[in-house]
Copies of this chain bind each other. A is one copy, B any other.
Amino acid sequence: MICGATEQYPGGTMAESGRAGRRREWTRAELIEIFGSVLLFSRLPGPQLEAVALAAERQAFRRGALIIRQGTEGDGLYVVASGSVLVSREARSGSKRALNVIEAPGSFGELALLDNRTRSASIEALEDSELFCISRESFLGLLSKDPRLVDGLIRELGRMIRRLSDQVADEGLLDLPSRVAKTLLRLIDHQGPLKSGDQPVVALTQGKLADLAGGSRQSVNGALSSFVVRGLIRIETRQIVITDLAGLRARAGVT
């Protein structure tokens, strides 16, 4: 057991459930495609990518499953191959604050590579998802063999810092509706460019969106309703469709 708990399907087979469901193994080409799309590994050529993928342990999680519990031991880096996960921190009081959503292809757990502290956040699967887990030891081995990985790591960390600085600054500087708008924009712009004609979609319950925006579910619902009135978005169950991207940008106060 390289990467901690693996009993993600406690006594049952994985149910096919929407687009995330997937039982077959990945082909070599697919793996290279996925790992190469992760910023951390983006500088690596094909063969090295394959080596990374080989060092990883495949794991699958159902929608809602807890992948990492904040405060526990664990030193693995995870690559999200399919599906998406929610990064959140919880206070002693039980209330929790969501920090980020990571969609395939993406990665999380980079911090555990740098120090040996306990997990700083909890990770939950937003849909049925498949992850690849690479132990700290394996990663450091790869790192020493290929300095291009260092480059990717630094870029990844830099991006995280910019994002987090933004979030801290927005918090308390913007009112809730603006924060909601900004959160929506943040979520759609780090899911790649969309196919032409399609409208960007944020697939989250309003509750989780509220955790991300730092407000109560009710208030976020109110903000969203006001956006609907102005034709900026359309609300569907478990997801929000952006119908007027420019208008939403304006509402968020982005130039």
Contacts and interface: CB of A to CB of B under 8 A. Distances in A.
* Chain A interface size range: 35 or more
Interface string A230-252: 00000000000000000000000
Interface stretch (A5-13, A28-36, A160-168, A190-198): A160-168
Contact of A155 (B114, B164, B173): B114
Interface stretch (A40-48, A72-80, A88-96): A88-96
**Copies of this chain, whole number:** 2
A173 B99 contact: no
Contacts of A157: 154, 157-158, 161
Interface in A213-243: 214-215
A14 interface: no
Nearest to A91: B173
A232 B104 CA distance: 48
A216 to B, nearest CB: 10
B120 A162 contact: yes
17 contacts: A89-B165, A89-B173, A91-B169, A91-B253, A93-B173, A97-B173, A111-B161, A114-B158, A120-B165, A121-B165, A150-B150, A154-B154, A160-B161, A161-B164, A171-B172, A172-B214, A172-B215
In the A-B complex, the 4 residue pairs with the smallest Cβ-Cβ separation, listed nearest first, are: A164-B164, A114-B158, A172-B214, A89-B169
